[in-house]
Amino acid sequence: MAFEYIKALHIIFIVTWFAGLFYIVRLFIYQAEAWEKPEFERKILIPQLNLMASRLWYIITWPSAILTLIFGFWTLSYRWGYMQLGFMHAKLAFVFVLYIYHFYCHKLFKDLQSGTSKWTSTKLRIWNEIATVLLFAIVFIIVLKSLLSAVWGIVGLLLLSILMMIGIKFYKKIREKNES
């Protein structure tokens, strides 16, 4: 019975971690765009966005990342035989990449808090898609227990991402046209 509770907590903290990762990059986009606003708007937007990002990052995202790791290893300790299977190695490799993504988000967070980031809102929108790709890969692998099935899922997601990027560029052109 303990295994089910530990696994449930692992899943809950995965969800809150991804929610934090998705929203923090959205806040990064707003922060980058705030620097392009007139001075009177910047004075209001930047402190508020910095406060929101700080609370999200330190109160939700970081604790969720740590608790995901703790409960993940605890869950794995009940299913140690999975470590003999290739799908688990692939899943853990994607999770490792996700932590690298998280650490790089921390760097972006620090840069934006100090006003030194050189990332544009468009680059940050693309950056945000990496977490989506990793989420798809990890879920497909762990549910289907097959790396090949995950590859097909990721290929589909990448095609969808390309279509989304085309849509974003199209939307940006329309927005810029309407602003001028």
Asked if 129 and 97 count as a contact pair (C-beta separation under 8 A), the reply is no
Q: Where are the domains positioned within the chain? A: 2-179
Q: What percent of the chain has pLDDT over 90?
A: 58
- Give the distance between the most distant pair of CA atoms in the chain: 62
Give the pLDDT of residue 150. 66
Q: What's the average model confidence in pLDDT over 158-172?
A: 82
Output the pTM of the full model.
0.84
Distance set, CA 117 to CA 20, 107, 124, 136, 151 (Å)? 20, 9, 11, 28, 33
CA separation for the pair 9, 11 (Å, rounded): 5
**Token pair listed for 41:** 């708007």
pLDDT by residue (tens digit) across 4-34?
Answer: 999 999 999 999 999 999 999 999 999 999 9
pLDDT by residue (tens digit) across 118-137?
Answer: 899 989 988 998 998 899 88
Annotated binding site for heme: 10, 91
Annotated binding site: 10, 91
CA separation for the pair 116, 71 (Å, rounded): 35
